[in-house]
């Protein structure tokens, strides 16, 4: 170890056993004590090469980007020509329907909107106001196959979907199963008084309405496109009925309330139905063209402003959301689900196309809002006790939610 004289600074080297002892400086003769210092440790080995490189500094996290809807497809001149064709066809279809049906202008348009939106429609109204006539007349004007099923308590699922029977070949004596199609294998199915049949028969329509197919004997059988279910219900008489479950009600795009005709319209109905008049309905659109126009409806432009309005409208109908209005918390048990948002967008697109436009406005959404939301909002006991209807709740929403 090394140490120095405390007087003259002369440097000396010695062993560690001299620590703390008195020594005499050979240069100046001063006696001083060797300081008690520990020897400096050997240098630590350089391990930097064996260690992994330090991690690179993290880049600052970017703020979460808002969701952006899928980019809209570009419109071509051919697409615009198809819109104009459908707009003119709508006028022609309405003209053909008027040959057999009086009034119900809004009902006719909503049914056509559901058809071009690939949706299903539930018609609510008392007997004798033309619900069945409307559906059959539309089927003729659209050149579609049409079948009507009268739902009764003894109706079985196989009566709708079809069944497999054993068929014998008389020439060979061989027997084999043959599938006999039910009335659901059509373009337009009228489920008359759908709430008069048990739930297991009602459920036979679920797969067809959602997947456009039925499964019989373990084999999937696609339905001919286009396919629509137009069901009817009598809102007055509830004896011997089976209310549709909420899940099945939600599969109907629209619930359309068909009211009584006006006085002048009822007089015209008498003139048409009590004489020898017979409507001559001419087809306007073919099934293949309807499928093509359904794809066109999906391409209609929707702005962020309209989408935000739809989201606010639907989310405001739910009593458990923080921003729900006070009357919703008071009157509503369950609000509309995500399928309501989908149908408001698609329904608004179809309204725009039928009016000859390729962009949805808030007014288009408001036009279909009552039919989309009415059967998706469940009033509670307090609302029923006060006589608050679903229609009034939707009207309150439409008046409160601003675009």
Q: One digit per residue, pLDDT tens: the chain, 403 residues?
A: 676 777 777 777 766 566 667 777 766 767 767 776 554 444 555 555 555 666 666 656 555 555 445 555 667 777 788 888 888 888 888 888 888 888 878 888 898 899 889 899 998 888 877 788 888 888 888 888 889 999 988 899 888 988 888 887 777 877 887 888 889 999 989 998 888 888 888 888 888 888 888 888 788 889 988 898 999 888 777 777 888 888 788 889 999 888 888 888 888 888 888 877 787 888 888 888 888 888 888 888 898 999 999 999 999 888 888 878 888 888 888 888 899 999 999 999 999 998 888 889 999 999 999 999 988 888 888 888 888 888 888 998 988 887 6
Distance between CA atoms of 107 and 367, rounded to whole angstroms?
12
* 12 membership: H or E segment, kind and range: strand 11-13
Q: Is 319 helix (H, G, I), strand (E, B) or coil?
A: coil
Distance between CA atoms of 209 and 81, rounded to whole angstroms?
31
398 burial level (CB within 10 Å; 0-12, 13-18, 19+): middle
User: 């004997």: which residue's tokens?
Assistant: 217
Distance between CA atoms of 58 and 55, rounded to whole angstroms?
8
Q: How far apart are the first and last CA of the chain?
A: 89
Q: Which residues are registered as beta bridge partners of 256?
A: 123
Q: 161 φ, ψ to 5°? A: -80, -25
Q: Would you state the structure tokens that stand for residue 399, as one six-digit string?
A: 């008046």
> Strands (DSSP E) along 54-200, which ranges?
121-124, 146-150, 162-168, 175-181, 188-192
Q: Which residues are registered as beta bridge partners of 332?
A: 379
Asked if 295 and 353 count as a contact pair (C-beta separation under 8 A), the reply is: no
């Amino acid at each position: 170890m090394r140490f120095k004289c405390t007087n003259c600074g002369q440097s000396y080297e010695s062993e560690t056993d001299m620590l703390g002892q008195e020594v005499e400086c050979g240069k100046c003769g001063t006696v001083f004590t060797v300081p008690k210092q520990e020897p400096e440790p050997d240098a630590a080995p350089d391990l930097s090469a064996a260690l992994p490189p330090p991690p690179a500094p993290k880049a600052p996290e970017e703020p979460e980007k808002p969701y952006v809807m899928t980019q809209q497809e570009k419109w071509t001149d051919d697409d615009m020509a198809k819109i104009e064709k459908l707009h003119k066809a709508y006028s022609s279809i309405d003209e053909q329907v008027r040959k057999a049906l009086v009034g119900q202008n809004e009902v006719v348009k909503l049914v056509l909107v559901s058809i071009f939106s690939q949706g299903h429609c539930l018609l609510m109204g008392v007997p004798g106001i033309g619900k069945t006539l409307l559906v059959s007349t539309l089927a003729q004007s659209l050149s579609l196959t049409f079948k009507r099923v009268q739902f009764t308590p003894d109706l079985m699922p196989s009566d709708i979907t079809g069944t497999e029977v054993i068929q014998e070949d008389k020439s060979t004596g061989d027997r084999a199963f043959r599938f006999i199609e039910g009335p659901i294998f059509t373009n337009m199915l009228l489920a008359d008084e759908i709430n008069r049949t048990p739930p297991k028969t009602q459920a036979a329509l679920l797969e067809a309405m959602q997947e456009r197919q039925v499964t019989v004997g373990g084999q999937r059988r696609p339905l001919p496109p286009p396919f629509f279910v137009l069901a009817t219900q009598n809102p007055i008489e509830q004896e011997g009925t089976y209310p549709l479950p909420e899940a099945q009600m939600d599969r109907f795009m629209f619930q359309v309330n068909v009211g009584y005709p006006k006085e002048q319209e009822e007089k015209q109905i008498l003139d048409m139905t009590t004489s020898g008049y017979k409507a001559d309905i001419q087809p306007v659109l073919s099934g293949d063209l309807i499928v093509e126009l359904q794809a066109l409806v999906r391409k209609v432009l929707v702005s962020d402003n309209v989408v935000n309005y739809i989201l606010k409208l639907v989310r405001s109908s739910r009593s458990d959301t923080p921003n729900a209005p006070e009357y919703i918390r008071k009157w509503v048990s369950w609000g509309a689900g995500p399928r309501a948002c989908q149908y408001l967008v698609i329904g608004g697109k179809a309204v725009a196309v039928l009016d000859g436009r390729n962009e949805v406005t808030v007014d288009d959404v408001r036009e279909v809002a009552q039919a989309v939301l009415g059967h998706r909002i469940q009033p509670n006991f307090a609302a029923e006790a006060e006589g608050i209807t679903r229609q009034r709740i939707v009207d309150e929403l439409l008046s409160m939610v601003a675009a």
